[in-house]
A and B are shown apart, each in its own frame.
Chain A
């Protein structure tokens, strides 16, 4: 994983934390999607177990991972572009993470609601929201790694 050719040493820690947060966010979002889809197919007892687990993982893993990714992104951005004027690929990353914040919060609220009632219609929405966010994260890492333009 050769992430960049030349950069000042002081950028390494925020970059590491940013990539760490991003990979954890990706893994946690995939887990949420998997548990959500499995919950839709499972019988009632298992469905409730999977929905509650999904909500706990969203709260304990996904949310902190997202915060780590976003905070470290701001940290490295302040070092790399202290006067602003970021290139377009940085803007794509911030757009995906900031819209992602709304998506993650909505996902958590729906996951919490679906973990409380056996006949919850919102349970079907949760894994699809997570899947949309997985695709959005893919767009962000394309912009961050390839730096097109």
Chain B
């Protein structure tokens, strides 16, 4: 296999790790909103931590190998579709980081309430259904899918 083929494989692997990890976190988040007990919320949020390294490696591979591919293929770093993809990648990463910290605190709250009797709790419910947090969370995920679309259509290339 040529260098280009290896780079493309690693780049696509990064995309699978990143988007796959986002899908896992999104599904578990949605399931947590519907959970009837704080202990179940804590269990589901506890599972999200297993995909955080997957998302991290995915972010690194998509950007680093992507930039290497731009050089290897001979695209311009200033091409509109490449700039748009990088900007969306940065915004998605920043929103994902904010979302990750929010979710970690929600998981800690759920664990604490679970250890104190595991009764339904208004504060936990409010955090799980916080519309701003949900917009940040799903906005971050949608941006990753938008980057995928840009990579395939390459508008202006």
Contact = CB atoms under 8 A, between A and B. Distances in A.
B57 interface: no
A73 interface: no
Interface in B76-120: 85
B47 A34 contact: yes
Given A1-B66, A27-B22, A42-B43, A57 B73 contact: no
Contacts of B39: 46
B33 interface: no
B19 A49 contact: no
Contact of B19 (A3, A23, A38, A46): A23
A84 interface: no
Interface residues of A, number: 35
For the side of the interface on B, what is the size category? 35 or more
B1 A49 contact: no
Contacts of A20: 145, 148
A31 B24 contact: yes
A15 B152 contact: yes
Interface string B6-47: 101101111110011111100110010001000110010011
Contacts of A49: 35, 40
Contacts of A135: none
B64 interface: no
A10 B20 CA distance: 26
A22 interface: yes
A1 B20 contact: no
B27 A1 contact: no
Contacts of B1: 146, 148
A103 interface: no
Contacts of A24: 23
A3 B20 contact: no
Nearest to A60: B27
B12 A145 contact: yes
Interface in A32-78: 34-35, 38, 42, 46, 49-50, 53, 57, 61
Contacts of B147: 1
Q: Which 4 A-B pairs have the closest CB atoms?
A: A27-B23, A1-B151, A145-B12, A146-B9
6 contacts: A1-B14, A1-B85, A2-B11, A19-B148, A28-B23, A142-B9
Given A2-B8, A34-B51, 20 more contacts: A1-B11, A2-B69, A2-B73, A2-B154, A3-B12, A3-B152, A19-B148, A22-B16, A24-B23, A27-B20, A31-B23, A34-B24, A34-B47, A35-B47, A38-B47, A46-B39, A49-B35, A49-B40, A141-B9, A146-B1
